[in-house]
Structure 1
């Protein structure tokens, strides 16, 4: 006969603990999958920091990681909509490459030689960026039209696009690299000049915290107005404090990374600033491409959660037949999703080429893998109907963290690709298991 009385207090304590965790999650309304992804990201960061001998979690590496993540994160926000609608876009990396090449040629050759614009013209980068965005929109519209109205599967259309646009990028310049790019255009790539500095970073961080508090207060007022259940006050305070700590912590890290000594010397000489004996510390602050990625993330979150178009996208992904019977123009919505994806690929192309100060034929190579992996890891289901923009951006940060860490560890590129592929497979498997449990 088994004595179960001795295990009873342990079982009751464990049940009480689980109940406490459940109550906490219910009160704060935190997404368990999102918490799991944040936890996995922190584990990866700590592991890579230890394996790299303390090089990963440094202001310099984290600042560079944020810049490197920006272009993938921007495209991942659009990939969420594509996958939610049960489609796929394998061409985003090639679209990024051909658009980047067109913008490079526009700045270095077409606008100067043909249109007569001079280097340093304040409109040069604006026109080049506009050309890239329009081209991305046209490419997305073309692929979306073929998918939606000619009913060719998205896998085939975008697989063809992967080959076509990559070949077009090479054909435009016969394989040569186009450089240099306009100085103002380069600011979108980050660097000492492509950052907003310490003061503006703190101001922006405080404004963001104020926005978070205002959003929480407004959400509570709206819940009271429509008689929805309210979160406990302590839960609201907890969410506000933790979010503000994360924002201000990110600002602190960005402001801890100084300009290189050579750049500081040139800046001090140009502005007649004496350099003290210990050196002159000038912080980078938040990089412009990171601000662009955050802006895109906010806009795409608003589009998906607060607009009729966003609701249509999720309705189509959940049940295309029912959405069609409900009167939703599923073809036009599908075409618009791919148009948005094209525009986001163009913005990513601008950031990537500006960071390199050149348009190369390798621009965007294999980025489609990173973008799809980021969306899937972020909780976007390949079965359609569910996904979040914030999750996809966190997924992009996780994927880029792995790549950055593997570079610090000196792993070869083929091995890096193996790891990324394995992570993608595991992410899809976890998504499948999660859907079965739900």
Structure 2
């Protein structure tokens, strides 16, 4: 345990004979997080070598980030589902239903009912509201079947996998619906970014907030006389976090808008591109949306009664129920939250494609579960982190993108992803046995 006497009173340590600790041990970093980061770095380096340096280009990193968002958003909700000892196999199919509803609202229903033009921004917001409502209601319905009727979540969501995929098909009569509203498309990635200047401002603000939160948490621990890291360790971690944020922004800002795109944009305004003029894409809106979801879900998990009830129920459902937690209603709320996040992921997925297609979200249920499990969420319940699920989604997408770039066929890609999932669970089991044995 870290000695805190110098932090509170400024005096010498209470135990001068206390054993010295290594640099890494004083940083008190999460070993599982370090392992996942190491795996991610290794995957990136291997594919960068195999692609002749193309994998780590700004353009590919930009594409990788926007491709990860929809699965990562759903993975944050899947953490809560698995923590409470349930599973949701219907997320990919439900995403298709939400996407179909939003597409039909934009292209058919609202234009016919309200007479709105496809370019009307209100069309996008109304469609998004409808998609989120549908996802939330269907999620709550599935949660009620699990919580109040006692049907296993595996069976309920397995049925949902078949039902909602085909509900989406019937809503669109099996057709691809598009193009979608321009405002809606801005949530997909390349059609909606902050630009270079605003991205630097957002990055600086994010770095300052992250460091401020880090030292605020430290001050709170000192105030309540809890153990804290040495001050230099907090400074090192703060510097690493700030450097990672600003480095990510720098990479995205290095991806410049192609000259032909600039010419088209200036021509639409009746202007010509000034000589030597360049512009960068910067941070996509979809990535900002993922960051917002990650922060919100982390706050829910760590700072709210709802979050505490989720982890208490997952740790010991019987004890949680005896302590007064309404585990049935909690199940409904967890599945409703999952449905809401599926609707949000549907916005990103459909906007990135600029249309709704019948195969949207196919196999996403497996990718989402794999992301949560690779990120350290225990299938036995009670343990899981939001940042781990997002990093797991990033690792999964990096594997798939890298294999696609080196020409690996789709069947072999699925074999590799499946093998990685099994290996991740095995490593997690070994790790927990070792930790539990200490």
TM-score (norm 1): 0.93
1:310 paired residue number: 307
> 1:293: how far off?
0.5
Which runs of no fewer than 5 residues in structure 1 stay unpaired?
1-18
> 1:335: how far off?
0.8
1:4 paired residue number: none
2:106 paired residue number: 107
> 1:135: how far off?
0.1
Change (3 A) 1:346 1:312: same
How do 1:179-328 residues align onto structure 2 when only pairs under 5 Å count? 179-191=178-190, 193-271=191-269, 274-275=272-273, 280-328=277-325
RMSD: 1.5
- Matched-pair contact (CA < 8 Å) for 1:107–1:125: yes
Report which stretch shifted further, 40-49 or 423-432: 423-432
2:424 paired residue number: 427
CA-to-aligned-CA distance 1:209-263 (integer Å, 9 cap, x gap): 1101211221121112101112101101101100010000000000000112221
> 1:266: how far off?
1.5
Residue 397 of structure 2 corresponds to residue 400 of structure 1: yes
TM-score (norm 2): 0.93
Aligned residues: 418
How do 1:19-58 residues align onto structure 2 when only pairs under 5 Å count? 23-58=22-57
CA-to-aligned-CA distance 1:262-292 (integer Å, 9 cap, x gap): 2111123345665455x53210000010000
Residue 353 of structure 2 corresponds to residue 356 of structure 1: yes
Distance 1:21 1:418 in 2: 46
Any idea what SS the aligned residue of 1:190 has? coil
How do 1:58-97 residues align onto structure 2 when only pairs under 5 Å count? 58-97=57-96
Distance 2:364 2:186 in 1: 22
> 1:97: how far off?
0.8
Distance 1:242 1:217 in 2: 14
Distance 2:308 2:26 in 1: 26
- Matched-pair contact (CA < 8 Å) for 2:121–2:181: no
CA-to-aligned-CA distance 1:303-333 (integer Å, 9 cap, x gap): 0011011010000000000001111111111
- Matched-pair contact (CA < 8 Å) for 2:98–2:131: yes
Distance 1:46 1:205 in 2: 25
Any idea what SS the aligned residue of 1:72 has? helix
> 1:120: how far off?
2.0
Dislocated runs of 4+, deviation >4 Å: 19-22, 271-274
Report which stretch shifted further, 238-247 or 264-273: 264-273
- Matched-pair contact (CA < 8 Å) for 1:264–1:280: no
Change (3 A) 1:179 1:31: same
Distance 1:44 1:264 in 2: 34
Match of 2:363 among 333, 341, 366: 366
Distance 2:324 2:25 in 1: 36
Distance 2:23 2:90 in 1: 42
1:173 paired residue number: 172
Any idea what SS the aligned residue of 1:101 has? helix
Distance 1:330 1:163 in 2: 27
